[in-house]
Structure 1
Amino acid sequence: MASDAGSRTRTILIWAALAAAIGIPLAASAASPLLAWRQPVYIAAGFAGVLAMAFLLLQPLLAGGYLPGLSAYQGRRIHRWIGTLLVAAVVIHVAALWITSPPDVLDVLLFRSPTPFSVWGAIAMWAVFAAALAAALRGRLALRPRIWRRLHTSLALLVVTGSVVHALLIEGTMETVSKIILCALVVAATLKVIADLNVWGKRKRG
């Protein structure tokens, strides 16, 4: 009984911590003074970016099976759904910014923008699309599981690196402290799942 109670408490604490890690940056962004007098399309672009960062925290936690109460099958299934939502958030983010300033977004897409945060954002965006395309074509690619994991992990690292650097460099919707904490959690979760799954390690021979 004590063990069950401890397990339930641990589960509640983990989910509460995850909710705080995602909810606090969203709430801080909603209260940002930079949103004052902004057009709805600009606000939508900002919140789509914040949601994308939240999805990047969920993805490694689901892939590594770190969220209690979910089976491995459920974790993989939700991981795929969150991946789809991540693509949608990126599309909304870019499309909304395009509406506000098409020339600037075109320069970003073509890597012609002089601002470093734009370059990293473009890297993350194309990596997200590449990862989604690879996942959609996984059956046709007929890759061995180990090769697939390495490909998927490499693209995920590009997504995380580009997104984190982009978020840290830009002064936008996200509040600074909560943004730094969320970015640190995304990096930590990603590196942990890569280490735990031994993606690039040699296969042990028994």
Structure 2
Amino acid sequence: MPAARALLIWAALGAATIGPLAVAANSPFLEWRAPVYILAGFAGVAAMALILVQPLLAGGYLPGLPRPLGRRVHRWTGGLLIACVLLHVAGLWLTSPPDVIDALLFTSPTPFSAWGVIAMWALFAAGMLALLRRPLHLRPRLWRLGHSVLVVVVALGSVVHALLIEGTMGMVSKTLLCILVLAALAKVLHDLRAWTLFRR
């Protein structure tokens, strides 16, 4: 790959992931907020950015990272993604435990909460499946299908959660990031052909 194209890809990824964080840092929603709340919010934005990075790593689309190396980084980044979600939820819990309880029980009056919780549990399940892949001796096609179904739920739930919530992420940067998340996931699912389990 030409160096100019590789640089352009990395620059675009940097803008797509760092841009929303920069917008959030200047959000008026942060005024008078406690540090724990701010940290929880940034953890959520970082998690959304990592959801974009994950399929790019799995598909080997990032220049300078061959697919085998990209998939190893993908596993570590998946752990970081889970850590960001845990930090996000823990920060919100410390800020307002009743709201988190309502969200976890799907009794919250805010629709975005349910989508966030669905995405969270799907993410935990995807991570658990990755840890148990070898101990359970899962066939590659079965593993790929199960993992793909779960990450689709993660991506869709996270996108709806982000778009419905009126928070620190700017609408333009948030929308662009969500579009890129869905496009990247669709691209890698198409290329890896997870559905071939059901083909003769």
TM interval, shorter chain, is: over 0.9
Tell whether 2:161 aligns with 1:166.
Answer: yes
Q: Out of 23, 34, 43, which is 2:38 matched to?
A: 43
Alignment partner of 1:140: what SS? coil
Q: Out of 191, 194, 198, which is 1:196 matched to?
A: 191
Tell whether 2:107 aligns with 1:112.
Answer: yes
Higher alpha-carbon Rg: 1
Aligned to 1:76: 71
What is the CA-CA distance between 1:114 and the residue it aligns to? 2.2
Please, which moves more after superposition, 187-196 or 105-114?
Answer: 105-114
CA distance in 1, matches of 2:11, 2:182: 20
Structure 1 residues 39 and 194: CA distance shift in structure 2, 3 A: same
Aligned to 1:136: 131
Deviations 1:161-202 (A, max 9, x none): 100000000001111100000000000000111011111136
Alignment partner of 1:139: what SS? coil
TM-score under structure 1 length normalisation: 0.94
CA distance in 1, matches of 2:183, 2:112: 21
- 8 Å Cα contact 2:141/2:197 also seen in 1: no
**Runs of 4+ with >3 A deviation:** 201-205
* Amino acid in structure 2 at the alignment position of 1:92: L
- 8 Å Cα contact 2:145/2:197 also seen in 1: no
Aligned to 2:180: 185
Q: RMSD in angstroms over aligned alpha carbons?
A: 1.3
Aligned to 1:3: none
Q: Out of 111, 116, 126, which is 1:121 matched to?
A: 116
Alignment partner of 2:194: what SS? coil
Pairing of 1:55-94 with structure 2 (within 5 A): 55-94=50-89
CA distance in 2, matches of 1:89, 1:133: 16
- 8 Å Cα contact 2:112/2:161 also seen in 1: yes
Deviations 1:103-160 (A, max 9, x none): 1101111222122100000000101111111111111221100000000000000000
Q: Out of 170, 189, 192, which is 1:175 matched to?
A: 170
Please, which moves more after superposition, 79-88 or 111-120?
Answer: 111-120
- Identify unmatched segments of 5+ residues in structure 2: none
Identity between Structure 1 and Structure 2 (%): 63
What is the CA-CA distance between 1:203 and the residue it aligns to? 7.9
- 8 Å Cα contact 2:51/2:181 also seen in 1: yes
* Amino acid in structure 1 at the alignment position of 2:55: P
Deviations 1:85-114 (A, max 9, x none): 000000000000000111110111122212
CA distance in 1, matches of 2:40, 2:154: 18
Q: Out of 7, 13, 16, which is 2:11 matched to?
A: 16
* Amino acid in structure 1 at the alignment position of 2:56: L
Aligned residues: 200
What is the CA-CA distance between 1:82 and the residue it aligns to? 0.6
